[in-house]
Chains A and B, each alone.
Chain A
Amino acid sequence: MQNRIDKLFAQKKENVLSIFFTAGFPNLKDTTVILEALEQSEADLIEIGIPFSDPLADGPVIQQSSLTALENGMNLNLLFQQLKDIRITAKKPILLMGYLNSVMQFGIEKFYKQCAAVGVDGVILPDLPLEEFEMYHRRITEALNIKVIFLISADTRPERIRQLDEASGGFLYLLSSNSTTGGVNGVSDLLLSKVAAVKESVAKNPLLIGFGIKGQKEFSMACEIANGAIIGSAFIELLTRSHNFKKDIAEFTSIVKTKLIAS
């Protein structure tokens, strides 16, 4: 079977919206409820965060959601249980995003096998070194047809971008600015000034821009220079406020996708 991420990008090259949320937040059993709501919404891709006690690359909003999820009792075993039957209904590509330590303790090979078993299409581990991917992960993930997505920034050197693009599957994650998640910048001037050069080194993968994409304005800015964008912290904030996930998620994704009328 073709990987669902590849299938998506084969059909769709612009305005791709990826939504990130933390597993087990706001309540333990919300994971699948939110997943179903996203499946019905205008989101194209779904990223589920594996909560970790020490999320180095995350700003306050995702940190807090992680802590709450852990207090709720979320862990990887439970997450895979929750995801066990999703593929009966869910058609959209699903990715897991987390930190390498969680995967190490679960067992690297076991982790990817579970991903494949429940129908997870890709994995993002921001602290996984490229060399370690090549040495231990690549053989396993390629055999299971699971994509491992790498991150680059506007400051990543061309040679390094080429390496990461080659290793990355599904898409390449382009950081909107030098910041932790939920940064205030949206698409930074730094990225705007360098994006053309960045793209020259990307041969293989579509580009999605993430970190600091809050809503419609940042999303359409990102879509002008990349294939789409990822919204995380702003979506988590929505979940915190929401009393009706289905309705609010449909509304949120629909507004984000509405093209801004140039003023």
Chain B
Amino acid sequence: MKAVSKYGVSENGYYGSFGGAYIPEILYNNIEELKSKYLGISQSEKFNNEFSELLKNYVGRPTPLFFAKNLSEQYKTNIYLKREDLNHTGAHKINNAIGQILLAKELGKKRIIAETGAGQHGVATATVCALMGMECIVYMGETDVQRQAPNVARMKMLGAKVVSVHSGSKTLKDASNEAIRDWINNPENTYYLIGSVVGPHPYPDMVARFQSVISNEIKGQLKTILGKENPDYVIACVGGGSNAAGAFYHFLESEDVKLIGVEAAGKGIDSGHTAATLSVGSAGIIHGSKTILMQTADGQITEPYSISAGLDYPGIGPVHAYLNEVRRANYISITDTEALEAALNLTKKEGIIPALESAHALAALGKLQFKKEEIVILNLSGRGDKDLETYTNYLNELKYAKQN
């Protein structure tokens, strides 16, 4: 977990003008404790041994780097899929959950809270809490509880208490608010296990570091396969931005590696139903962090929309707001339909059903111009089991449209 410098977080928690810790005073001690201890603990030998051991034998890392031959032929280039979908619990989220639960244990916290949208981070958190024997409370918007029923069942089976959030718009943004309110009410004994590179400093940096195992492995794997560590492209979807931050991390300083983040355009960035924060957002404060977010002129945070619950967030991690501003990474957006088509395409061509979130990254392949000899890494952040109903409905719609 080597620190990056130029694109890394500053000592007081900023990426350029983004980041920081905009929190009520009650949380000051908690944030200070985290700030002063997260690096020391996560860089200790004891922590690293435990973290590596769990990633290897519990999560199943390293995840394969798979040369997608058929996809490569389709796009006339060389596409490698980083198979985060093969992780235990089905997405990259578990990397961060393992890291943070070990940190919480070191800090002596017994009660774990988390927010979740699609339920993937909730499941990852419930899983590590079961493993460590800790109390787990997951906040989830009422709307998401309904549309992600299988993940709610998994969390409950794992022993977590799932709290359905009725405030605000009843989705991920409100689940995050409610988790922060819980933390304010229980600052002494509670650890807030945030699921992406969002929230007050030091969370964005901490989560990026725990997810950086992704790019670390890619480097080693490319070296073995091709004799060189750096690809030409790294592509990843961006909700809060944790899988992208992890996939970019060790390539940030290699400026010849093109980094592409893919946001959810929903029904189109001009439709009023979108989650493409960088396209339609402006600078402001959300969940304790200064970043780009979707808001009215008056500063009210607006409701995002995406078919993918994991990308349905009105903010973006401050690191991405910064990488976008300085043009170190490029961000594009993909509509619901483009993502659905890309998911069907991968399923047919490679026999892999991707998560809807990851399908946004896959659809970006069609928007970029690659050279024949270029090496393209696509971070396949999760698997599609949780999205089967959405896929089935889409297939039925297509069939119906054909018949008429």
**Residues of chain A at the chain B interface (Cβ within 8 Å):** 52-54, 56-57, 59-60, 63, 67, 70, 75-77, 99-106, 126-129, 131-132, 150-153, 155-157, 160, 164, 175, 178-180, 183
A104-B286 in contact (CB<8A): no
B168 lies within 8 A of A105 (CB): no
Which B residues touch A179, using CB under 8 A? 26, 184-185
Knowing A101-B299, A104-B299, A105-B299 touch, does A56 contact B185 (C-beta < 8 A)? Answer: no
Residues of B within 8 A of A (CB): 12, 20-26, 28-29, 167-168, 173-174, 177, 180-181, 184-188, 283-288, 295, 297-302
| Shortest Cβ distance from A153 into B: residue | B26
A53–B180 touching, CB < 8 Å = no
Hey, which chain B residues are within 8 Å of A76, CB to CB?
298
Residues of A within 8 A of B173 (CB): 54
Shortest Cβ-Cβ A-B pairs, 8 listed:
A105-B299, A53-B300, A75-B298, A101-B285, A57-B24, A127-B22, A151-B25, A102-B299
Q: Cβ of B25 and Cβ of A150 under 8 Å apart?
A: yes
Chain B nearest CB, measured from A248 CB (Å): 27
Choose among A54, A160, A180 the residue that contacts B168 (Cβ–Cβ < 8 A): A54
B285 touches A104 (CB 8 A): yes
Query: Given known contacts A131-B12, A157-B29, is B181 in contact with A56 (CB within 8 Å)?
Result: yes
A151 contact from B21, B24, B181, B286, Cβ within 8 A: B24
* 23 residue pairs from A and B, CB less than 8 Å apart: A53-B168, A56-B180, A56-B288, A57-B24, A57-B26, A59-B181, A63-B167, A67-B168, A76-B298, A99-B285, A100-B22, A101-B285, A104-B284, A105-B284, A126-B24, A127-B22, A127-B24, A127-B285, A132-B20, A150-B25, A160-B28, A175-B25, A179-B185
Contact partner, A52, options B26, B186, B288, B300, Cβ 8 Å: B300
| Cross-interface CB contact of B186 among A53, A103, A105, A178, cutoff 8 Å | A178
Q: Within the complex, which residue of B20, B168, B302 is in contact with A129, where a contact is CB–CB below 8 Å? A: B20
> Most B CB atoms within 10 A — which of A54, A76, A151?
A54
Chain A residues whose CB sits within 8 angstroms of the CB of B288 once the complex forms: 56, 127
Additional pairs, 4, CB under 8 Å, beyond known A156-B28, A160-B28 = A60-B167, A63-B167, A63-B168, A105-B298
Q: Is there an interface contact between B299 and A52, defined as CB atoms closer than 8 Å?
A: yes
Taking CB atoms, residues of chain A closer than 8 Å to B185 are 178-180, 183
CA of A76 to CA of B298 in the docked complex: distance in angstroms? Answer: 7
Instruction: Tell me the minimal C-beta distance from B200 to chain A in angstroms.
Output: 9
Chain B nearest CB: distance from A161 CB in Å?
10
A240 to nearest B CB, angstroms?
17
B286 and A102 form a contact (CB under 8 A): no
- Measured CB to CB, the nearest residue on chain A to B299 is A105
| Option from A70, A131, A132, A175 in Cβ contact (under 8 Å) with B26 | A175
In the bound complex, CA of A15 to CA of B184 (Å):
28
**Closest residue of chain B to A127, judged by CB?**
B22
B25 contacts A153, C-beta separation under 8 Å: yes
**Minimum CB distance partner of B29 in chain A:** A155
Residue of B nearest to A154 (CB): B26
Q: Give the docked Cα–Cα distance between A98 and B283 (Å).
A: 18
Contact among B21, B177, B297, B298 with A56 in the assembled complex (CB-CB below 8 Å): B177
**Distance to closest chain B CB from A13 (angstroms):** 24
Report yes or no: A101 in contact with B295, Cβ–Cβ below 8 A. yes
Q: Is the CB of A180 within 8 A of B184?
A: yes
Judge whether B299 and A106 touch: CB under 8 Å: yes
CA distance A128 to B56 in the complex (A): 42
Q: In this complex, what residue of A is CB-closest to B283? A: A104
Contact of B181 among A70, A104, A150, A180 (CB under 8 A): A180
Q: Which of B20, B26, B297, B300 contacts A178 (CB 8 A)?
A: B26
User: Least Cβ distance of A133 to chain B in Å?
Assistant: 12
Cα–Cα, bound, A233→B167 (Å): 16
Closest to A51 in B: B300
Task: Flag if B25 contacts A156 (CB, 8 Å).
Answer: yes
- B285, A152: Cβ atoms under 8 Å? no
A229–B300 alpha-carbon span in the complex (Å) = 29
Hey, which chain B residues are within 8 Å of A52, CB to CB?
299-300
Q: A105-B284, A127-B22 are in contact. Are A57 and B184 (CB under 8 A)?
A: yes
Q: How far is the CB of B113 from chain A (nearest CB, A)?
A: 14
User: In the complex, A197→B205 CA distance in Å?
Assistant: 35
Q: Known contacts A126-B25, A131-B12; is A102 also within 8 Å of B186 by CB? A: no
Measured between beta carbons, the chain B residues less than 8 angstroms from A153 are 25-26
B24 contact set on A, CB distance < 8 A: 56-57, 126-127, 151
Which of A75, A100, A151, A180 contacts B285, CB < 8 Å?
A100
A157 to B32, CA, bound (A): 11
Residue of B nearest to A155 (CB): B29
Q: How far is the CA of A152 from the CA of B187 in the complex (A)?
A: 14
Shortest CB distance A115–B (Å): 16
Q: A101 contacts B284, CB within 8 Å?
A: yes
Give the CA-CA distance A127 to B29 in the complex, in Å: 14
Rounded to whole angstroms, the CA-CA distance of A63 and B173 in the bound complex is 14
Name the A residues within 8 Å of B297 (CB-CB).
105
Q: Complex formed: what's the CA distance from A106 to B298 in Å?
A: 7
- Give every chain A residue within 8 A of B180 (Cβ-Cβ): 56
Among B184, B187, B301, the residue within 8 A (CB) of A54 is B301
A61 to B: closest C-beta gap in Å: 12
- Minimal beta-carbon separation of B381 from chain A (angstroms): 26
Query: Separation in Å of the B82 CB from the closest CB of chain A?
Result: 34
Chain A residue at minimal CB-CB distance from B182: A180
Closest to A211 in B: B26
- Write the chain B residue with the least CB distance to A78: B298
